Amino acid sequence: MALVNNASRAPSGRDPRSTDLTEKQEEQALPPVDTTLPNGAQPPFEAFLHYARIQRAAELADTRAGSVAEEQHWGGLIRRAFGGRKKIQAVPSDASSSCEGVEGEKGEKTYLEAEASSVNSGDVAYKTLRVASWQSVFYLITTDVLGPYSAPYSFAQVGYWPGCIMFFVFGCLAAFTGYLLMYMYGALDSPQYPVRHFGDLADRIFGRWAKHVCNILQSLQLIFNVGIIVLANGQGLSQITQFRVCFSVCIVIWTLAGMFIGQVRTLQKFGWLANVSVFMNIFVILVTMGVVSHQLPNYAASVHPIGPVITQARVVQPFEFQVTGILQLVFSYGGAMIFIDFMAEMRRPMDFWKGMACAQVLITLVYMIFGIVVYSYQGQFVVNPANQGISGYAWQTATNVISLTAGLTAAALWGNIGVKVIYETVLMTFFRFPPLHTQRGRVAWTFSTIVYWAIAFVIGTSIPQFSNISSLVSAICTVQFTYSFPPLLALGYQVQADAAKGDRVWDPSQPTPFAHRVDSWRDWSRWQRGLWPMLWLKVWYAVMCLASLATAGLGAYSAVAAIIAGFKTGSHASSFGCKSPVDVR
């Protein structure tokens, strides 16, 4: 959870309430979440709402929260840059909310005894690890999503005005779905039932099967993201060596580097480098825009024959190429998958929208400006990623070296999260792997990381088509987390919340979990209460979800068709070959 830049101690001196968490202590404090009751049953939806309301009220009552986290964000960044420990301020006991000593009228413990105990280790970890401000979230979203090297390629596939419209529309929809995630998180997260990942939110609304679907797709996207970054870094290294080194060897080099860096189990060890990578990306963006305005396109890296640069208001070409370009745009807004992880480390998660709104505005403007400028000077010769379209070797090498460093950092971040997701949700759950903080767990982590990066190597070398493979991942995974799942979850949440309004008030001391309900989902009356209020909003959620799924289906078909065509025509590099994809001479 070290992705978030944690608040440091006050400048005036050490806060006696602060706590140092070592890497091992952090892993012990955050075990995998299990919401099942002692009898194996799933808690009622109303229990999640009940405890979440108490927690949100406690956050509002904590007047320290905003000022401490916001003022000390940059101090925390500096401390982490020099390898300091996490300084974490525990929430005072009077701000703890919840369910201390929940018992029945005669003193006997209720069925929620295990979950409603007073202060336990999970409750303390929940409070002490939540220290991030919305400014931190702005920085993290920018770190996670900022990387608009595919934006010029999108404009090259669709043209000026479709590209601008799509960037604006998809940016607004991404902000809307981000707000939906924040709203549902605030309504369902509590110390008793913490929501730490996207799959946890799906579990609260639709059950365990939905969590497994999200975890599988998240694992798939993360490992493909790493594979794509390894592919891009391999292309950059091949340009630096002027194609004198076999392309597959270039990818092997980055794979081995990833295996080495991936042995770090928490991101705290190199989290500061992730923040520096933002400025690396900005530097590459500025240099690329400046250089392409004074140099010819990199004809050797483009599949188009040498000729004049052509730019169009609307590009007319086969359908699959246009969809591939649009999916590059969607891939740019793929950070929603870990928005929940960011909220889980905020002292006031309901302020998430501030950081997200600022980040989305900045990202959308950067994408559009960068995409338009590079496309205006390079036209149909745009290369994906854009900095590899620089023709001059000196500036091409300079931007490649910087982007390779930022790319390896991003791959390490994605790989760390990806291995953890697979380890906790698959290996520990189904194969009884040991916890990470144990000696056997550390050994298992080492081998898991090696296997993970080996799979990423296979992905990068088997389909060396950067644009097409990233479009395929965008269609199968990114569209779901950013545009399909949030409205679907919002629909399920709103139906259940409206249906619960006709029940008796949920009471932790009731004898059975569902004793407060006047009917069940087998009765039409409950469906009526759930569906009819704000019907227009629920229809909008359903339409948005279906439209996103249709877009994903068309995108997956187009990406697969483009990959097949690339291999058939020989316009792209071959699998496991020595010829670089950016050397098409």
The tens digit of pLDDT for each residue in 236-269 reads 999 999 999 999 999 999 999 999 988 876 655 5
| Distance between CA atoms of residues 73 and 135, nearest Å | 8
Q: Which has more pLDDT, 17 or 127? A: 127
Chain mean pLDDT for the chain: 81
Query: Distance (Å, rounded) from C-alpha 382 to C-alpha 301?
Result: 9
Helix/strand/coil for 123 = helix
pLDDT in tens, 374-416: 999 999 999 989 999 999 999 999 999 998 888 888 788 778 8
| pLDDT computed for residue 405 by the predictor | 86
Mean pLDDT of 200-226: 92
> 538: number of CA atoms within 13 Å, CB side?
16
Determine the average pLDDT of the residues in 32-49. 75
Q: Which amino acid type is present at position 482?
A: T
Please state, in angstroms and rounded to a whole number, the distance separating the CA atoms of residues 585 and 577: 15
pLDDT in tens, 43-97: 899 999 999 999 999 888 877 644 454 444 444 444 444 444 444 444 444 444 4
Q: How confident is the model at residue 26 (pLDDT cuts 50, 70, 90)?
A: low
pLDDT band at residue 172, thresholds of 50, 70 and 90?
very high
Residue type, 223: I
The partner residues of 346 in beta bridges, in order of sequence, read 132
- Of 291 and 429, the structure prediction assigns the larger pLDDT to 291
pLDDT for 188 beyond 60: yes
The arithmetic mean of pLDDT across residues 411-424, rounded, is 83
pLDDT for res 109:
45
- Contact at 8 Å (CB) between 573 and 580? yes
Task: Read off the pLDDT of residues 320-373 as tens digits, 9 standing for 90 and up.
Answer: 888 888 888 887 788 788 899 889 888 889 999 999 999 899 888 988 999 999
For 134-488+546-569, CATH number out of 1.10.510.10, 3.40.640.10, 1.20.1740.10, 3.40.50.2000 equals: 1.20.1740.10
Largest CA distance in the chain: 87
pTM of the model: 0.83
Residue 10: pLDDT band (50, 70, 90) is: very low
CB atoms within 10 A of CB 570: 9
Q: How far is CA 178 from CA 198, 242, 328, in A?
A: 12, 43, 19
Q: Which of 53, 43, 108, 117 has its CA nearest to residue 513?
A: 43
What percent of the chain has a predicted confidence (pLDDT) above 90?
A: 48
3-state secondary structure of 229: helix
Tokens representing residue 479 in the block:
């569209």
What's the pLDDT score for residue 116? Answer: 44
Render pLDDT for 210-221 as a digit per residue (tens, 0 to 9).
999 998 998 899
Domain boundary assignment for the chain? 134-488+546-569
Q: Is the pLDDT of residue 28 over 60?
A: no
More confident residue, 436 or 518: 518
Evaluate whether 33 touches 196 at the Cβ level (below 8 Å): yes
Rounded to an integer, the average pLDDT of 421-426 is 83
Chain centre to alpha carbon of residue 142: 11
Q: Record the tokens describing residue 258, joined without a space.
A: 């990833």
The encoded tokens of residue 291 equal 């250089």
